[in-house]
Structure 1
Amino acid sequence: MIPTLLKLPNARKVVQLLGGCEPETELLILYDAMTAGNVEALMIAATEVGASPVTMQMMPSTFHGTELPKSVAAAMAASQLVIGATVRNIAHTDARRGAQAKGAKVIVLPESDDERFFLAKGWSVDFETVRQQIDTLAQALTEASTARVTSDLGTDVTMSIAGRTGRSLNGFANSVDISAGYCLEASLAPVEGTANGRIVVNASIPGVALIKDAPVEIEFRDGFAVSIRGGAEARQFRELLEGFNDPNVYNLGELGIGMNPMCTLDGTMLSDESVWGGFQLALGTSAYIGGTCKAAAHYDTVLTNAALELDGRLVFAGNRLLI
Structure 2
Amino acid sequence: MLERMEMMKPVGNILDQCLALKKGEQLLVLADTDNLRIGQLFMLAGQDRGAETMMLTYKPRKRHGEELPPVIAAAMKAADAIVAPTTFSVNHTDARKAASNAGARLIFFPGCKEEMFLDGSLDIDFAKQAEVIARLSKVLEDGKSVRVRSNDGRTDLRFEIAGRHAVPQNGICHEPGTISPPPCIETAVAPVEWTTEGTAVIDGAIVPGGEVLEPVEIRFEKGRIVHIDASGKDGKYMADLLKSYNDENIYAHVELGFGLNPNARIGRGIELEDEGEFGTIHLGIGNGITFGSPIRASGHIDLVIRHPIVEVDGQLVLKDREVLI
The TM-score, its normalising length taken from structure 1, stands at 0.96
Distance in 2 separating the partners of 1:175 and 1:306: 34
Distance in 1 separating the partners of 2:317 and 2:212: 26
Q: Which residue of 1 aligns with 2:19?
A: 19
Does the 8 Å contact 2:210/2:274 carry over to 1? no
Q: Which residue of 2 aligns with 1:206?
A: 207
1:128 aligns with 2:130: no
**Structure 2 residue matching 1:239: 3-state secondary structure:** helix
Cα distance change of structure 1 residues 2 and 236 upon mapping to structure 2, 3 Å threshold: farther
1:68 aligns with 2:98: no
Distance in 2 separating the partners of 1:172 and 1:100: 14
Equivalent residue pairs, number: 321
Q: Which residue of 1 aligns with 2:96?
A: 96
Letter aligned with residue 275 of structure 1: E
Letter aligned with residue 121 of structure 2: G
Q: Which residue of 1 aligns with 2:270?
A: 268
Distance in 2 separating the partners of 1:179 and 1:256: 13
1:177 positional shift:
4.0
Q: Deviations over 1:235-266 (max 9, x none)?
A: 01111111111100000011011001111112
Distance in 1 separating the partners of 2:264 and 2:138: 23
Letter aligned with residue 301 of structure 1: L
Q: Deviations over 1:56-78 (max 9, x none)?
A: 01110000111111111100001
Distance in 1 separating the partners of 2:116 and 2:313: 39
Does the 8 Å contact 1:2/1:116 carry over to 2? no
Does the 8 Å contact 2:127/2:172 carry over to 1? no
1:51 positional shift:
1.1
Q: Which residue of 1 aligns with 2:215?
A: 215
Does the 8 Å contact 1:142/1:165 carry over to 2? yes
1:55 aligns with 2:64: no
1:141 aligns with 2:143: no
1:152 positional shift:
2.2
Instruction: Describe how 1:278-317 pairs up with structure 2 within 5 A.
Output: 278-317=280-319
**Structure 1 residue matching 2:13: 3-state secondary structure:** helix
Distance in 2 separating the partners of 1:295 and 1:175: 27
Moved over 3 A (4+): 174-177
Q: Deviations over 1:143-182 (max 9, x none)?
A: 0010110012411100010111111110011434421122
1:4 positional shift:
2.1
Letter aligned with residue 310 of structure 1: V
Cα distance change of structure 1 residues 3 and 40 upon mapping to structure 2, 3 Å threshold: farther
RMSD: 1.3
Distance in 1 separating the partners of 2:288 and 2:91: 11
Does the 8 Å contact 2:255/2:288 carry over to 1? yes
1:321 aligns with 2:323: yes
Deviates more, 1:36-45 or 1:302-311: 36-45
Does the 8 Å contact 1:100/1:176 carry over to 2? yes
Q: Which residue of 1 aligns with 2:234?
A: 233
Instruction: Describe how 1:35-50 pairs up with structure 2 within 5 A.
Output: 35-50=35-50
1:19 positional shift:
0.9
Q: Which residue of 1 aligns with 2:249?
A: 248
**Structure 2 residue matching 1:28: 3-state secondary structure:** strand
Does the 8 Å contact 1:16/1:46 carry over to 2? no
Distance in 1 separating the partners of 2:2 and 2:235: 35
Distance in 1 separating the partners of 2:193 and 2:178: 20
Distance in 2 separating the partners of 1:204 and 1:248: 21
Structure 2 unmatched ranges of 5 or more = none
1:201 positional shift:
0.6
Distance in 2 separating the partners of 1:54 and 1:94: 21
Cα distance change of structure 1 residues 218 and 2 upon mapping to structure 2, 3 Å threshold: farther
Deviates more, 1:180-189 or 1:247-256: 180-189
**Structure 1 residue matching 2:29: 3-state secondary structure:** strand
Distance in 2 separating the partners of 1:235 and 1:291: 28
Distance in 2 separating the partners of 1:32 and 1:2: 24
1:108 aligns with 2:88: no
